[in-house]
Amino acid sequence: MGGVESNGRVVWHDCMTTDIDKSVDFYSKLFGWEIKDVEMGGGAPYKMIHAGEAGIGGLVQVNADDNVPTRWVAYVAVDDIDAACKRATTGGGQVAVPPQDIPNVGKFSIIVDPQGGMIAPYQSATGDLGPEPEGPNPVGQFIWEEMMAKDPAAAANYYAELFGWKSQEMDMGEMGTYRVQMRGETPEAGIMGMPPGADNPSWLSYVHVEDVDKWAAKVNELGGKTVMEPMSIPNVGRMSAHIDPCGTAFALYKPDKTTCD
């Protein structure tokens, strides 16, 4: 999971699930991920996700009785997690999980922003996050984060303070203004207005696939549901949105070739 120049980089993803066995079965079959047990020094082992040789995330059991919604949570690198938590609360958010140590790895926290979006600042113990990816992450890995916000402009300002992202606005016609969150010259995430009928601001994680339509059909075959049918956006790519068998939202994305050049 390197230093100050990587502040604001999305580096990891955890799936908070009420049925970890069902989630392991679904995602390993859908994406071909290898999910290995990693002992964390007490308690149940951590289910770490590998896409090929790359570790990209994990799955964590949550208690259904605690009324915690299942979700994918993105981890974003910061150089000082305590300072990040202070920025989070100063901007009107809440620290849902105070900074926690991961032995020999680093520290993480979970933040709920003022509109209800959940994200996790992460501070590496060594400052080494691995090499910067050249272009989009490979097929089978997470490739994009997107927030649906009630007030997209306010959300963009909040994350600018939290992670140092700079907002680059794009006119998407009927879809409104799309705010690309830039880490220096690198697009890191997007923020847009909530679609009609939606009422819970949230972050959505996209996985890079070779064929969105093929993988969307596979989601349904494995017991998931499609909430947004595959659609293409010119000069951006093709995407679809889904819910896994435990109710966790995620999306599929194949970038247009021009976005990768």
The H or E element containing residue 29 is helix 20-31
CA-based radius of gyration for the chain: 17
- Which residue type, as a one-letter code, is found at position 186? T
Model confidence over 212-260: pLDDT tens digits? 999 999 999 999 999 999 999 888 999 999 999 999 999 999 998 755 5
Question: Residue 68 has what pLDDT?
Answer: 65
Question: Mean pLDDT for the chain?
Answer: 91
Say yes or no to pLDDT of 2 above 50: no
State the average pLDDT over residues 61-74: 81
Stated pTM of the model: 0.93
Q: How far is CA 126 from the centre of its chain?
A: 23
**Yes or no: is domain 4-124 CATH 3.30.565.10?**
no
Task: Say yes or no to pLDDT of 201 above 70.
Answer: yes
What confidence score (pLDDT) does residue 198 get? Answer: 72
| Nearest in space to 162 (alpha carbons), one of 71, 90, 99 | 90
**Dihedral sign of CA atoms 68, 47, 191, 121 in order:** positive
pLDDT digits (tens, 9 = 90+) for 137-168: 899 999 999 999 999 999 999 999 999 999 99
Pick the CATH number of 142-260 from 3.40.50.2300, 3.90.1150.10, 3.10.180.10, 3.40.50.1820: 3.10.180.10
**Six token digits for residue 87:** 């920025």
Sketch the domain layout of the chain as residue ranges: 4-124, 142-260
